[in-house]
């Protein structure tokens, strides 16, 4: 994010200006851009599958308002793909970049547009994590395994009729990412007390509220009723906004996210980010001496992973990830402390919470 030079103790927030959520709102992408003052050309950054599945609606809506488009598909969220997007933006000089697709497509659009100095609009087609609305990106090929601040989307157009057709495991993962805010906010509070780190009540409460609302609506989310999908999408967007308000990922990412990133290193990508943060939240909530049972019950009810087996990792990999999690990001103080949990303690936590058998 291009953070302006601020006087001492000032705070900068970059927020989306418009959010559209609901059935068939993808057909409103063109007029939304017009309303925001974009009339010329748009670069659509998307994925192959998404394009064939729902691309027509978005492209038609842009055509309708005479916005010229070029489309490029990306394969993965890597620095090479970001460089490709950046180059394309320099050649084409579009007025706006549209990130259209899953988390990876949006991350590449987000970072590429920021580097090239263009605004971006987020049109998510999945609800698997809160990156669809946040100013943060996670990227392979960078010097750090965790996400960092890029810039917030200028607007979000979340079509629940498209998102509702995505595989259920993506929805379940999104629930795992939202419930993780319980442990993330506790960690943030802890860092405030122990390290005098900036803590923002408003951002923290917003993240917590998302968790509460999603937990309350487990049944309708599980049944993939339109209201349920909408509730989850609203929660993920609120989490993104909470990070925009905080100016960091703090309200949404604590020890459970460090565990997830550690597991990526230890075991590779055998399961989704949201699934891993959910399991991490169970164990970190246990370490925080909080109500870890409620988190586990919710994940089981929703059909999200709550065990190592469901994450397609071994018990040893869980223990290893938990013991190394604190070392990934030393400046981010969490319940894991500065030296982390010992191997014996990690195994005990994983067993006591039923993550390993
Ligand atoms: Zn996350």
| Residue pLDDT, tens place only, 112-154 | 999 999 999 999 999 999 999 999 998 887 777 778 789 999 9
Q: Examine the pLDDT at 16 and tell me if it is beyond 70.
A: yes
The four Cα atoms 40, 45, 49, 50 give a dihedral, to 10 degrees, of -60
User: Average pLDDT, stretch 270-288?
Assistant: 97
The candidate with the shortest Cα–Cα distance to 61, out of 99, 92, 20, 32, is 32
Q: Does the structure show a pLDDT above 70 at 3?
A: no
Task: Find the 1 Cα to ligand 1 centroid distance in Å.
Answer: 19
CA of 91 to the centre of ligand 1 (A): 33
Per the DSSP assignment, residues forming a β-bridge with 136 are: 149
Compute, in angstroms, the gap from residue 253 CA to the centroid of ligand 1: 6
Q: How far, in Å, is the centroid of ligand 1 from the Cα of 96?
A: 26
Q: Residue range 338-351: average pLDDT?
A: 98
For the purposes of burial, counting CB atoms within 10 Å of the CB of 210, is it exposed (0-12), middle (13-18) or buried (19 or more)?
A: buried
| Burial (CB count within 10 angstroms: exposed 0-12, middle 13-18, buried 19+), residue 6 | exposed
CA of 314 to the centre of ligand 1 (A): 22
| Residue pLDDT, tens place only, 62-97 | 999 999 999 999 998 899 999 999 999 999 999 999
Average pLDDT, the chain: 95
* Distance (Å, whole) CA 334 – CA 192: 10
Centre of ligand 1 from the C-alpha of residue 260, in Å: 9
Q: How much distance in Å is there from the Cα of 261 to the middle of ligand 1? A: 10
Mean pLDDT of 32-60: 95
Residue 9 backbone class (left: φ over 0; alpha: ψ -120 to 50; beta: rest):
left
Nearest to 150 by CA among 249, 238, 18: 249
pLDDT digits (tens, 9 = 90+) for 299-341: 999 999 999 999 999 999 999 999 999 999 999 999 999 999 9
- The lowest-confidence range among 17-26, 120-129, 205-214, 218-227 is 218-227
Ligand 1 center to 258 CA (angstroms): 10
pLDDT higher than threshold 80 for residue 9 = no
Q: How far is the CA of 129 from the centre of ligand 1 (A)?
A: 6
Structure pTM? Answer: 0.95
Ligand 1 centroid to Cα of residue 273, in Å, is: 7
Q: What is the pLDDT of residues 218-264, one digit of tens each?
A: 999 999 887 999 999 999 999 999 999 999 999 999 999 999 999 99
- Measure 277 CA to ligand 1 centroid, in angstroms: 7
| Ligand 1 centroid from CA 25, angstroms | 25
Write the pLDDT tens digit of every residue in 297-308: 999 999 999 999
Å from CA of 136 to ligand 1 middle = 10
């Amino acid at each position: 994010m291009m953070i302006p030079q601020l006087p001492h103790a000032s705070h900068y927030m970059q927020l989306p200006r418009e959010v559209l959520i609901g059935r068939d709102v993808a057909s409103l992408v063109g007029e939304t851009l017009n309303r925001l003052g974009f009339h010329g050309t748009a670069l659509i950054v998307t994925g192959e599958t998404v394009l064939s599945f729902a691309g027509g609606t978005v492209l038609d809506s842009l055509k309708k308002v005479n916005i010229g488009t070029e489309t490029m598909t990306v394969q993965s969220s890597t620095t090479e793909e970001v460089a490709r997007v950046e180059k394309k933006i320099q050649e084409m000089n579009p007025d706006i970049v549209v990130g259209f697709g899953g988390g990876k497509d949006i991350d590449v659009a987000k970072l590429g547009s920021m580097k090239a100095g263009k605004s971006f609009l987020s049109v998510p087609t999945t609800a698997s994590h809160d990156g669809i609305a946040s100013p943060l990106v996670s990227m392979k090929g960078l010097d750090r395994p965790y996400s960092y601040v890029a810039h917030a989307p200028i607007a979000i157009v979340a079509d629940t009729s498209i998102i509702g057709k995505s595989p259920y495991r993506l929805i379940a993962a999104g629930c795992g990412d939202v419930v993780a805010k319980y442990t993330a906010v506790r960690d943030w509070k802890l860092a405030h007390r122990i390290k005098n780190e900036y803590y923002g009540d408003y951002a923290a409460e917003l993240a917590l509220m998302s968790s509460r609302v999603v937990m309350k609506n487990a049944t309708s989310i599980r049944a993939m009723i339109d209201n349920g999908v909408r509730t989850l999408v609203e929660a993920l967007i609120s989490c993104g906004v909470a990070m925009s308000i905080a100016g960091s990922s703090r309200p949404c990412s604590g020890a459970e996210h460090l565990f997830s990133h550690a597991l990526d290193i230890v075991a590779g990508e055998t399961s989704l980010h949201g699934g891993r943060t959910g399991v991490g939240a169970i164990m970190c909530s246990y370490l925080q001496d909080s109500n870890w049972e409620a988190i586990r019950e919710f994940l089981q009810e929703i059909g999200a992973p709550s065990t190592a087996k469901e994450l397609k990792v071994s018990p040893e990999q869980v223990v290893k990830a938990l013991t190394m999690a604190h070392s990934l990001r030393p400046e981010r103080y969490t319940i894991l402390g500065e030296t982390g949990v010992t191997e014996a303690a990690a195994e005990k936590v994983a067993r006591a919470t039923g993550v390993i058998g």
